[in-house]
Amino acid sequence: MKKIRPLSALLCALFLVACTDSANNNRSMSDTITEKLELDHQDVFKLKLGQCFDDTNGHQQSVDSLPIRDCTQPHDHEIYHIFNVNLDSYNDEEIEQQANARCEEAFQRFTQKNYNESIYEMSYLSPSVESWQAQDREVICYIQHPDQKTTGSLRNIQA
């Protein structure tokens, strides 16, 4: 699991599904929707630079998977930088310091705009204590508009 480190709150869309069971043993509606949701989610340890995803449950402290979206379609976040922290042991504060500094540097290279002058926000996913014990050192930086979904990449957006 990766720890969510939002600089802005992540929002969650809740799915309420009514389950139907037909007499002829067809698959229920919830089975079909569950399969669709599983197809759209990707393990956080397989995320790649340039992928886009939607909000997840903002109340969660850690996540196993994220709802991946085609960047040409409306989405909440875009991964713009990935790096490994350089520490001998797990240190929450040091991970946060490295993540903030390196994500902010990469933000400027990605958008061509200083983070403090941009209308966009950055955040990141970082190792949890549990994932650190499994050798996870990866921090995933992502960008988002604070109030709305975006369509397309925010690379060189200069806003």
| pLDDT number for residue 12 | 30
CA distances from 126 to 36, 59, 87, 103, 156 (A): 27, 16, 13, 11, 25
pLDDT confidence of residue 55: 87
Predicted pLDDT at 3: 61
**What pLDDT is attached to residue 30?**
39
Name residues of the chain where pLDDT drops below 50. Answer: 6-39
In angstroms, what is the C-alpha Rg of the chain?
18
Q: How far is CA 125 from CA 2, 3, 65, 103, in A?
A: 6, 6, 11, 11
Cα 130 from Cα 125, distance rounded (Å): 14
